[in-house]
Amino acid sequence: MVPAETPEPHETGSPGFPVRRLRRLRRTPALRRLVAEARLSVDDLVAPLFVREGIDAPAPIASMPGEVQHTVDSLVLEAKRLVSLGIPGLILFGVPATKDARGSGAWDPEGVVQVALRAVRDAVGDEVVLMADLCLDEYTDHGHCGVLGPNGEVLNDQTLELYQQIALAQAEAGADIVAPSGMMDGQVAAIRASLDGTGRDQVGILAYAAKYASALYGPFRDAVDVTIAGGGDRRAYQQDLSNQREALEEIALDVAEGADIVMVKPAMTSLDVLATARRAVPVPLAAYHVSGEYSMVKAAAAAGWLDGAAVALEQLTVIKRAGADFVLTYFAAEVAETLGA
């Protein structure tokens, strides 16, 4: 057998030398900026904020370094700071002083989020898009996102009636956008009908359309003081993490029901859903970079295992690359400062 000849290396410019050199456009920072496909800017950031009733100073959240439960006054100051950084949106989560089986604080005109919405609106006007998480889990004594039946199951249609009341209370308090996160069937249609039927047709809906039942929500539950009664979980109503096609159907249904924006959550573990949804729906697409994703980066950075600021930028850019129009992230202020530097 005649051994194969070793080909002679091609000299630069000779006919077999690569003509298409992809490294050409990576050579300098200016070239890389010029041809960048995904761009992360301050305009892509929404800051989630927590406001707690009955405290007189911001309370640090141990599992989310750098995040706090705000008083209404400190929330207003933080909203002003976010505006000064150019961040276009924030979303509020409330922690009430008392809870009950139906979560009545969620629609109380003097409930913590409604009070906070009015205060922030008075302070910053239309300089920021005010969003409010629309759910019951922070307000119920059992920690579920809806009304419970006799066997402890979450009752879908009875819950929708309460979601309608919450939407009206948040809209009246000044929310530009309400964000139903309970994953109840028909929640967008019910809320849209309630808003439109009371002359609040200009209030938008950001639907948590594909919200997976994820272990990455643990620090968030610390932040809102939520424990599910009896050690239960939300797998009967949140999206099954094994399924992509089902998630896309959830997204399509929410768009059909009138959602102005749809969201996928968690972001980093749902990049496939984000990318597919971007091709499937015409409405703006959001992603939630959740508490566990944030806290893991913070913990690793504190241990000196990685560059936290660089990883935050990398993850948010990748979420944009996958198709998100904007990202809800606890890194919003930090990243805005970095981008503005």
Residues noted as catalytic? 211, 265
Q: Is the dihedral of CA 151, 152, 156, 158 positive or negative?
A: positive
CA distance 290 to 328: 8
Asked, as a colleague might, if the bond just before 88 is cis with ω within 30 of 0, I would say no
Chain centroid to CA 338: 20
Nearest-angstrom CA–CA distance, 134 and 190: 13
CA distance 273 to 334: 27
**β-strand pairing of 177-180 with 59-60:** unpaired
Q: 314 is written with which tokens?
A: 């990398």
Question: 């896309």: which residue's tokens?
Answer: 248
Q: How far apart are CA 30 and CA 36, in angstroms?
A: 10
Give the tokens for residue 120: 């922030």
